[in-house]
């Protein structure tokens, strides 16, 4: 006859010996979501000495009272430290009464509203099969990444002082368990849901940047190529976002060499499968090479890319401009941005091996001239020329020996004549050809487009959006590579990028509301908005309604711009509106 199953077996704490130390551990069963097989994993709640005295660890500290109450410890263990900690932790909380929990909540409350507005919560519920607790745990990690600069090892400590979406303490082992449920299949499903929320006429842009990484466990890092040929290895990280809603809809990481044309087809196909049909690229550093631009053209791919003004087509147009009245006569003036602009149709021939010569008539050169920038660049040119002359005069006066191979490169604005021994400087004069060329290009910048009917002003603003998104993307990338993770190597990239992508969507939306409202005159960045909301507290009282402290005028203004309502009857009772009664009039 089979031995009866103990229903409390997963809660019974036993001594587990590993690496010469004894730990107080349980072995709860978990189901692998992919294979459906049951597996057991040790959960350590603390250490055990030779006298059977139990010392709690972080997992025990951050567990909820309900989780700790379910644990069954042997009767002969010394539990005095655990009992002292429980009493101390309850007394340290900022309470209104002995059983109240008082925690910061304002910034979390705002992000929860944003998660609902953007549909993130609903999409996560679909991806994780309507598991609200799993969704709350992922949102807690995303909020933590959005609001702090710490790594995920400190989430549980952060939960002690804020009211996070989940009440479960997310210790490092628990975060690792969460990461195991985030795979590429769920990532792809989430991206498709995000793309489906956008309009059919939305246009998308791509921001890409390379990132250094010390680890080599992940294939994209191990097989990436550092262009400088020095360690560490690099990856290329990509985010695609909508230009209308400023919402990121796609993310991915590739080996650094994926910026070449041989991997471009894979990237574009991945975006198309995600649902980005009318994609056009606002290219970053990974796509600036001429061969990549030529491939975009041959594929019929729309794009926006900065190009050097010294390129042949751009230089020819600049040389033909009429500056007789102090400004380019044929260019239009943008009063708001303070520069002149014009768009030109150009044709480029593309030579492909074995395919002859192709030409495209969809190319447009968008040229811009900023007179204030031109004055600054010409002034800096004069300063550099003067500095070079001063240094050369000192070399001549002191008869100092110079390196004939590098002297002309170090003094590029001057033509230098060396003495017959080629070790000392004989004389020099201004290099008028180079100086006049620099003066001609001063104040100009140019953007090349393909397959777009936008005018030069709209192209300029589309490219500016890339810079704004790049700041959020840079913040996401810095966390990924600079902070040590709590995931196993195989899960690190997929799970952390997924969580940080959710964080990026939240932060981008908050910044979009800030930029498009009066908040931009009050708060320099979204972080200041979160700081303003943070003092709001949530007070949870047993057998009573949860209390949220009142919102002040600034916090109510933030709510208004985000289109959300503060919890009922929590606005300040005072009013700052001026009385409409005349001075001395009796009040009703």
Inter-CA distances, 515 with 34, 146, 243, 244, 560, Å = 43, 18, 14, 13, 15
Question: Which two three-digit tokens encode residue 128?
Answer: 């994780």
The burial of 351, by beta-carbon neighbours within 10 Å (0-12 exposed, 13-18 middle, 19 or more buried), is given as: exposed
* Low pLDDT (below 50) residues in the chain: 87-96, 213-232, 258-260, 285-286, 289, 353-357, 480-488, 490, 569-588
Contact between 237 and 199 (Cβ < 8 Å): no
Q: What is the largest CA-CA distance in the chain?
A: 107
Query: What is the SS3 assignment for 200?
Result: coil
**Residue 209, pLDDT score:** 62
What residues form DSSP beta bridges with 139?
Answer: none
**Residue 387, pLDDT score:** 93
Inter-CA distances, 539 with 386, 536, 568, 571, Å = 67, 10, 15, 16
| Residue 270 backbone dihedrals phi, psi, to 5 degrees | -60, -45
Q: What is the pTM of this model?
A: 0.65
Q: How does pLDDT run across 246-273, given as a tens digit for each residue?
A: 778 887 776 655 444 555 666 677 777 7
**Residue 95, pLDDT score:** 43
10 Å Cβ neighbour count for 190? 21
Residue 263 CA neighbour count, 13 Å, CB half? 15
**Residue whose structure tokens are 């966390």:** 479
Which ranges of 225-345 does DSSP label H, i.e. alpha helix? 261-274, 290-298, 312-319
Contact between 176 and 491 (Cβ < 8 Å): yes
DSSP 92-122: HS--SSTT-EEEE-HHHHHHHHHHHHTTHHH
The CA distance from 235 to 230, in Å, is: 14
Q: How does pLDDT run across 296-337, given as a tens digit for each residue?
A: 777 677 788 878 888 888 888 998 898 888 888 889 888 888
Q: Which residues, in sequence order, are CB contacts of 33 under 8 Å at separation 6+?
A: 181
Contact between 461 and 341 (Cβ < 8 Å): no
């Amino acid at each position: 006859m089979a031995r009866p199953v103990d229903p409390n077996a997963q809660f019974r704490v036993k001594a587990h010996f590993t690496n010469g130390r004894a730990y107080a551990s349980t072995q709860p069963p978990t189901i692998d979501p992919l294979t459906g097989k049951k597996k057991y994993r040790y959960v350590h709640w603390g250490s055990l000495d030779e006298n059977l005295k139990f010392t709690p660890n972080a997992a025990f500290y951050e567990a909820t009272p309900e989780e700790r109450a379910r644990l069954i410890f042997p009767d002969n263990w010394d539990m005095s430290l655990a009992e002292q900690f429980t009493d101390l932790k309850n007394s340290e909380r900022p309470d209104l009464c002995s059983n109240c929990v008082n925690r910061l909540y304002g910034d979390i409350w705002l992000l929860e509203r944003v998660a609902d507005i953007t549909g993130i919560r609903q999409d996560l519920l679909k991806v994780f099969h309507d598991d609200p607790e799993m969704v709350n745990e992922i949102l807690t990690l995303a909020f933590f990444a959005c609001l702090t600069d710490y790594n995920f090892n400190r989430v549980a400590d952060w939960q002690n002082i804020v009211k996070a979406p989940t009440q479960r303490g997310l210790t490092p082992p628990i975060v690792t368990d969460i990461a195991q449920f985030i795979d590429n299949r769920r990532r792809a499903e989430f991206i498709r849901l995000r793309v489906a929320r956008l309009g059919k006429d939305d246009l998308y842009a791509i921001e890409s940047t390379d990132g250094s990484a010390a680890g080599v466990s992940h294939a994209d890092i191990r097989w990436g190529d550092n262009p400088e040929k020095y360690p560490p290895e690099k990856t290329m990280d990509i985010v695609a976002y909508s230009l209308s809603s400023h919402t990121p809809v796609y993310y991915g990481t590739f080996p650094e060499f994926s910026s070449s044309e041989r991997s471009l087809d894979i990237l574009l196909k991945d975006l198309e499968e995600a649902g980005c049909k009318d994609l056009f690229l606002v290219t970053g550093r990974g796509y600036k090479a001429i061969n990549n631009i030529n491939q975009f053209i041959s594929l019929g791919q729309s794009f926006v890319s900065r190009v050097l003004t010294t390129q042949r087509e751009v230089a020819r147009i600049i040389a033909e401009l009429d500056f007789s009245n102090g400004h380019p006569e044929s260019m239009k003036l943008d009063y708001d941005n303070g520069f002149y602009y014009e768009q030109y149709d150009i044709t480029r021939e593309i030579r492909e091996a074995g395919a002859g010569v192709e030409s495209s008539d969809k190319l447009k050169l968008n040229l811009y001239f900023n007179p204030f920038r031109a004055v600054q660049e010409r002034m800096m040119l004069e300063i550099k020329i003067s500095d070079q002359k001063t240094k050369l005069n000192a070399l001549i006066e002191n008869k100092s020996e110079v390196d004939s191979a590098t002297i002309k490169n170090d003094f590029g604005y001057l033509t230098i004549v060396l003495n017959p021994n080629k070790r000392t400087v004989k004389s020099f004069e201004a290099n008028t050809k180079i100086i006049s060329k620099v003066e001609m290009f001063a104040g100009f910048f140019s953007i090349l487009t393909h397959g777009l009917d936008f005018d030069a002003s709209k192209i300029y603003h589309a490219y500016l959006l890339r810079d704004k998104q790049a700041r959020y993307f840079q913040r996401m990338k810095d966390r990924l590579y600079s902070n040590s993770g709590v995931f196993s190597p195989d899960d690190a990239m997929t799970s952390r990028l997924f969580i940080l992508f959710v964080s990026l969507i939240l932060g981008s939306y908050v910044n979009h509301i800030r930029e498009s409202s009066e908040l931009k005159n009050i708060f320099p960045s979204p972080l200041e908005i979160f700081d303003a909301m943070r003092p709001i507290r949530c007070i949870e009282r047993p057998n009573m309604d949860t209390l949220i402290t009142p919102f002040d005028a600034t916090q109510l203004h933030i709510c208004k711009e985000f289109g959300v309502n503060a919890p009922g009857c929590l606005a300040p009772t005072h009013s700052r509106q001026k009385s409409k009664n005349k001075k001395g009039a009796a009040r009703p």
